Structure 1
Amino acid sequence: MGANHPGTVASGVETATADDTALLLDVMLGKLATYLRMCGYDAAYAMDGDGEDPGDERLLARASAEHRVLLTRDISLAGRADRSVLLAGRTPIVQLRELESVGFTIELGERPARCGACNGPVGPLGDDEPIPEFAPDPTETTLWRCRDCGQVFWRGSHWRDVESRLNEN
């Protein structure tokens, strides 16, 4: 992805892959959470669940208890976390480039691993599972389902659009 971005600061993080790094994103990074989930990261978002802002103290406690790297645009909050990345960018693509510049692997896998909506694990759609009317024919396109919320996924135009954006220089 891109060059080093001034203003991006990683504390307690050397490298990160979707297989070995769990993340917690503050309330300012909801769109970024979706992209990171598409890249396979366990990316919990502060507003998941009841939709209420948990506040800084609860975010810090959760990041510590769950051994998550806190991603934030808040200088003060980043400085108080054991492991954090302070992001300067305002858009998800710029933020992804910032993460890559500090050692995060940013790429789409061959199949979805995490639900973009709820962060649940995604697995192959079973033969006996119902298929939404809007989904493509499973004999022509591989389908997956979120094991937590039931959303159905496939590698369609949205996947190709995100892949194209990730590969831009």
Structure 2
Amino acid sequence: MDEELKFITDGMLGKLTRWLRILGYDVEYRPDEADDKLIELAKKTGRTLLTSDLQLYRKATKMGVNTFLVDGKSDVENLAKTSKRFNLNIRTEEIEETRCPVCNFKLRLALPSEVEGKIPTTTLKTYKEFWICTNPKCQKIYWQGSHWKKIEEILKEVKKLTE
């Protein structure tokens, strides 16, 4: 994983933000930020600005900010185009690289005893591996439940589009 690759996204790219975080990429999501502030933040933090707003793209590019216009017709296409442009690693095997889709903090492996009482008992009995968000204000708990198959299917679709 390229630790240097960091993004900032505008309010139109919430789903792309979540997907990139699931894949382990550091993505700052600013849904309510004005264009000028997004450009300033991207410049100041060295993040690549991802936007689907043509005017913002043009303005940021003119100001020397590394910017990518995300213009796919679907969430899958947006992820595929972004992946292709930045040569992103589309994989699910390295779950320890995953970031919290909600807050962007890294996840850590957790013992079943740590999540007991915080998730449904049936989930605790069914699954053996759990991950907790390292953000003290978030601490969401994740596991590879039935939704994981859907995630893998979508990522396979993305891979096909990038070949």
TM-score band w.r.t. shorter chain: 0.7 to 0.9
Using the TM superposition, give the Cα deviation of residue 167 of structure 1 relative to its aligned residue in structure 2, in angstroms. 0.5
Quick one: distance in 2 between partners of 1:109 and 1:59?
A: 33
Aligned AA (1:68): R
Among 117, 139, 143, which residue is 2:102 paired with? 117
Deviations 1:144-169 (A, max 9, x none): 10011110011222222111111123
Using the TM superposition, give the Cα deviation of residue 91 of structure 1 relative to its aligned residue in structure 2, in angstroms. 2.2
User: For residue 132 of structure 2, what is the aligned residue in structure 1?
Assistant: 145
Moved runs in structure 1, 4+ residues, more than 6 A? none
| Residue 86 (structure 1) aligned with residue 60 (structure 2) | no
CA contact (8 A) 1:18 1:40 kept: no
List gaps (5 residues or longer) in structure 2: none
Aligned residues, how many?
148
Structural RMSD (CA): 2.1
CA contact (8 A) 2:92 2:152 kept: yes
Quick one: distance in 1 between partners of 2:92 and 2:4?
A: 16
List gaps (5 residues or longer) in structure 1: 1-16, 48-52
User: For residue 8 of structure 1, what is the aligned residue in structure 2?
Assistant: none
Quick one: distance in 2 between partners of 1:78 and 1:115?
A: 27
TM-score, structure 1 normalization: 0.78
Using the TM superposition, give the Cα deviation of residue 139 of structure 1 relative to its aligned residue in structure 2, in angstroms. 8.2
Using the TM superposition, give the Cα deviation of residue 133 of structure 1 relative to its aligned residue in structure 2, in angstroms. 2.8
CA contact (8 A) 2:115 2:141 kept: no
Using the TM superposition, give the Cα deviation of residue 74 of structure 1 relative to its aligned residue in structure 2, in angstroms. 1.2
CA contact (8 A) 2:130 2:142 kept: yes
Aligned AA (2:104): N
TM-score, structure 2 normalization: 0.80
Cα gap change, 1:126 to 1:140, in 2 (>3 Å): closer
Bigger share in helix? 2
Quick one: distance in 2 between partners of 1:44 and 1:108?
A: 21
**Aligned residues with identical type, % of pairs:** 30
Q: Which has the higher contact order (CA 8 A, sep 6+)?
A: 1
| Residue 159 (structure 1) aligned with residue 144 (structure 2) | no
Aligned AA (2:9): L
